[in-house]
Amino acid sequence: MNKWILGARPRTLPASIAPVLVATALAGPDLDWFRATLALQVSIWLQIGVNYANDYSDGIKGTDTHRIGPTRLVATGLASADAVKYAALISFGIASMCGLWLSILTSPILIAVGFVSIAAAWSYTGGRKPYGYSGFGEVSVFVFFGLVATVGSFYVQTQRITLMSVIVAVPIGALSCAILAINNLRDLHQDALVGKKTLAVRMGDTAARRSFASLLLIAHVAAIATFRPMTILTLLVAPFTFKIARQVMHGASGLDLIPLLGKTGKLQLIFAAVFALSLAI
């Protein structure tokens, strides 16, 4: 596989697709395919930019040297640090252009939202005090790939923010956090060795596993808590959810967590598709 595709970490991309999918379904008669497509481009390219930025920042800090997860470009020498940094900047640039177009069509406020989103993406592992090294990664993911991405995608199509648009963002944010949580669980011991105090490191192995399972549960409960009758359809995904949670709770670790990371990404995409369908009916 092309090294740049590997570096983009395709397994994490459901986190960028799910919020736009759900928000577009909620928009209903106000659905605007063009604006929805632009919102999707913003979300996807921000996610890819985050992944390249993390690869670059972790690589130059040396925290990826003994990583057991997906291939890292800088740490493995597949690409130079400068090349990966430029890939991140190009990705953020594409996201910015799509976001600027959306701001022209809707509101200049989106420019400020985009600036904050990119700043948060870079400072996750970059800069002098990366907040991802202090255990705040899940908070950021919930805010930007849950609330901002979902509510923002709804807003650009309808020009309004509703309570329901915030509520439907909760299960999407919870599942995005679950992707990061299982990633950090896999890297817990290596991160602890290099002083990267992710939430998993701070909580410890057992609590981190329970936290992951709780995020999956929250997603299902929050979807039904929208009080839309058809959202009960999301329970069709429950067996898949339970299977992943059970494997994690039964002690899957290291290399065994890599396929579960991919399955968690698939879970979010399938869940979002069913959730979107239930909202559209």
163-196 pLDDT per residue, tens: 999 999 999 999 999 999 999 999 888 888 888 8
Give me the number of domains the chain comprises: 1
44 assigned to some structural domain: yes
Domain membership flag for residue 244: yes
Six-digit token string for 138: 């899940």
Q: How many helices (H) and strands (E) are present in the chain, helices listed first?
A: 15, 0
Share of the chain above pLDDT 70, in %: 97
Sequence-ordered list of residues with C-beta below 8 angstroms from that of 268, at least 6 positions apart, any chain: 14, 15, 18, 172, 175, 176, 178, 179
At 278, the pLDDT band (50, 70, 90 cuts) reads very high
Is 24 within the bounds of a domain?
Answer: yes
Average the pLDDT over 6-20 and give the result.
Answer: 89
Joined tokens for residue 258: 């890599």
Q: Which domain holds residue 100?
A: 7-280
In tens, the pLDDT along 232-258 reads: 999 999 999 999 999 999 988 888 888
pTM of the model: 0.91
Whether residue 109 lies inside any domain: the answer is yes
Supply 41's token pair.
Answer: 């481009």
Q: What CATH code is carried by the domain that includes residue 68? A: 1.10.600
